[in-house]
Amino acid sequence: MFTVYILFSESLNRYYVGHTGDLKDRLIRHNQGRSKSTKSGIPWKIMYTEAYQTKPEAYQREMEIKKRNQEYILND
């Protein structure tokens, strides 16, 4: 099982979209500053998730979301 997730950083007022096979571990890594792209936005909160059976499906959905704007992310 793979998860597409949307995180939010209040300090940056910014969303981050990703996918993972272990959401709990991935959130910990984001909030420990172990991801270069999210290090400056700690703490991150999970705002939304979707589950997929395969990694390619999750990656495809992540890319679809990233092509959209913030309004789409909030209203999808």
pLDDT at 41: 96
Rg (CA), the chain: 12
**Average pLDDT, consecutive stretches of 10 residues, N- to C-terminus, the chain (76 residues):** 96 95 97 94 96 98 86 64
- 3-state SS record for the chain: CEEEEEEEECCCCEEEEEEECCHHHHHHHHHCCCCCCCHHHCCEEEEEEEEECCHHHHHHHHHHHHHCCHHHHHHC
pLDDT at 29: 97
pLDDT at 6: 94
Mean pLDDT (the chain, rounded): 92
